[in-house]
Amino acid sequence: MKELNINTKVGIVGSGTMGMGIAQVAATFGHNVFLYDINKDALENAKQKLINLFNRLVQKNKFTGDEAGSILNKINFVNDLNRLNECGFIVEAVTENLEVKQRLFTSLEKIVQTETVLATNTSSLSITSIASSCKDYSRIIGTHFFNPPPLMPLVEVVPGLLTSEEITGAVIKLMNDWKKIPVIAKDTPGFIVNRVARPFYGEALRILEEGIADAATIDRAMKVVGKFKLGPFELMDLIGNDVNYKVTETVFEQFYFDPRYKPSITQKRMIEANLLGRKTGRGFYDYSENAVHPEPNKDENLAIEIFFRILSMLINEAADAVFMNIAAVEEIDLAMTKGVNYPKGLLRWADEIGIEKVVKRLNLLNEVYGEDRYRVSPLLKRMAKQKQKFYNS
C-alpha cells in the first residue's frame, strides 16, 4: 500500500458539520481536498461557512490572507462523486444511517483505486457492518472525529474485524501528521468515548428521577467537586436531548439491552415535548432572554455524594472497557480527556481515590437497588482485592 502523506488527495463525503470540519483540517495540513455532498445547498452552505470562518481567522491574525486563501483553494467543492476517483484517503461523514452509508461505500468502491483507504466517521454504527457492503473489507476503517474537528484533538481509529494492520498503521500516522491524538478502539458499540461517557448522563438522570437533587444541583456538584467544565444537564442541552438520547438508545440496543446503558424515560419525554436544549430554546434549562437560572442546593455533603456516585459509575465503565479489551488504560484516559474534555483520566482518578473505595460505593448501590445496572466490573473487583493500581506512577 502507498503511504498516506501530504501528496495524498483527500475525499470527504458529506459537507455537514463534521465533513466540513474534516475538510478544513485536511486542507490546513496541505492536502488537496475534494468535498462532495448529495445536496447542492449543503455544499454551497459549507463553502460559505468556510469562507466566513477563514475571514474571521484572518481578522484574529491566526492566518495571513494569503495562507487562508491557499487553504481554501485546496478545497474543491464537487457535486459529482466520480471526482473523488483520484483520492487516496476518503472520509465518509454522511447521515448516521447504515443503509445510506453502505450504499455509499458500494458506490465508492467502484470509483476509487484499489489502494484507496475508505474511512467512516460514524459515531455509533459498526465499522464491520459498513465494510460488509464492499468486496474488499481490508481497507475500510473508522476515523471518529469529535465536534468541531479542527479544535478537538481526539480521533478514535477503529479497525473493523477484517481491516488490515497496514491500513490501521497508515491512518494512525496520517492522524499524527494532522496533529491529532489518535487512539485505537475496538469495533464495539460506542467505541471508547460514547460508551464510557454514558453514566455521566445516565446516572445524573437517574439521580434526578429519584428526586435526590434537581438538574442545577447535580450540575453544580459535577462542576464544583469534580471540576467538569459543564454539568451533565448543561451538556445534554448543548448536545441536544434528541442526539444524546439516540446515542444512548443505540448503545443500549447494540449491547443487547444491557441495563447499564438503559435510556431514560425523562429524557424521552423531553424530546416528545420538543425540549431539545439550546437549539429549541429550552431543555433542562430555559434559554430565553429573561429566563432565571434555577438556584442549586449548595449542601456540600449532597454535592460530594452526587459527584462520587456518578464518578464511580464512570470509573466502572472505563474499567470494564479495559477488561473487555476495547482499548488500553492510557488510551481510555486520553480519549476522555481529549475527546470530551474530562478534567482527569477516569482510571488515573480511580488510582487517586483508591479502587477499593470505588468498589465499595458501587457495591452499596448494587445492594440498595439490586439492579444489574450497578454490577461491578470484574477487573475492578480483582484490582481492589489485590490492591492494584492502573498506573505504576
Q: What share of the chain is helix, strand, coil (3-state, %, to 5)?
A: 55, 10, 35
Q: Considering the rule CB under 6 A, would residue 93 count as an interface residue with ligand NAD?
A: yes
Tell me whether residue 122 or residue 217 sits nearer to ligand NAD (CB atom): 122
Between 197 and 218, name the residue whose CB sits nearer to ligand NAD. 197
Q: Name, in order, each residue with C-beta under 8 angstroms of 9's C-beta and a sequence gap of 6 or more.
A: 31, 32, 33, 34, 86, 87, 88, 89
Name the residue among 318, 22, 305, 8 with its Cα closest to residue 152.
22
Is there binding between residue 42 and ligand NAD (CB under 6 A)?
yes
Q: Is 181 helix (H, G, I), strand (E, B) or coil?
A: strand
Return the residue matching grid coordinates 488537496.
Answer: 32
Which three cell numbers mark 74? Answer: 485546496
Is the Cβ–Cβ distance between 206 and 321 less than 8 Å? no
Sequence-separated (6 or more) residues with CB below 8 Å from residue 35: 11, 12, 15, 19, 20, 23, 43, 46, 75, 76, 77, 78
> Which range of residues in 10-18, 276-284, 312-320, 360-368 is near ligand NAD by CB under 6 A?
10-18
Looking at the Cβ atoms of 103 and 227, the one nearer to ligand NAD is 103
Active-site residue list: 123, 144, 156, 194
* Segment interacting with ligand NAD, rule: CB under 6 A, options 90-98, 173-181, 260-268, 304-312: 90-98
What do you get for the CA distance between the two ends of the chain, in Å?
Answer: 40
Q: Which of 96, 253, 286, 305 binds ligand NAD (CB under 6 A)?
A: 96
Q: Which of residues 272-311 bind ligand NAD (CB under 6 A)?
A: none
147 interacts with ligand NAD by CB under 6 A: yes
> Pick from 73, 95, 176, 388: which binds ligand NAD (CB under 6 A)?
95
Q: Which of 26, 90, 91, 94 binds ligand NAD (CB under 6 A)?
A: 94
DSSP string of 72-136?
HHTEEEES-GGGGTT-SEEEE---S-HHHHHHHHHHHHHHS-TT-EEEE--SSS-HHHHHTTSS-
Q: Considering the rule CB under 6 A, would residue 244 count as an interface residue with ligand NAD?
A: no
In the set 1, 16, 67, 253, which binds ligand NAD (CB under 6 A)?
16
Nearest CB to ligand NAD, comparing residues 243 and 304: 243
Task: List the one residue from 31, 32, 37, 350 that touches ligand NAD (CB under 6 A).
Answer: 37
Bridge partners, 11 (sequence order): 34, 90
Chain-centroid distance, C-alpha 217: 26
CB of 92 to ligand NAD, least distance (A): 8
Question: Does 22 engage in binding with ligand NAD (CB under 6 A)?
Answer: no
Which DSSP letter does residue 261 get?
G
Choices 11-19, 167-175, 183-191, 350-358 (CB under 6 A): range interacting with ligand NAD: 11-19
Binding of ligand NAD by 241 (CB under 6 A):
no
Nearest-approach distance from CB 54 to ligand NAD, in angstroms:
19
Among the listed ranges 15-23, 51-59, 185-193, 319-327, the one in contact with ligand NAD (CB under 6 A) is: 15-23
Binds ligand NAD by CB under 6 A, chosen from 58, 98, 100, 230: 100
* Closer of 147 and 266 to ligand NAD (Cβ): 147
Strand pairing report for 154-159 and 10-13: unpaired
As a whole number of angstroms, the longest Cα–Cα distance in the chain is 64
Q: Provide, rounded to whole angstroms, the least separation between the CB of residue 375 and ligand NAD.
A: 29
The answer to whether 203 and 309 are in contact (CB under 8 A) is yes
A 10 A CB-CB count for 379 gives: 19
Residues that bind ligand NAD (CB under 6 A): 13-19, 37-39, 42, 93-96, 100, 104, 121-123, 145-147
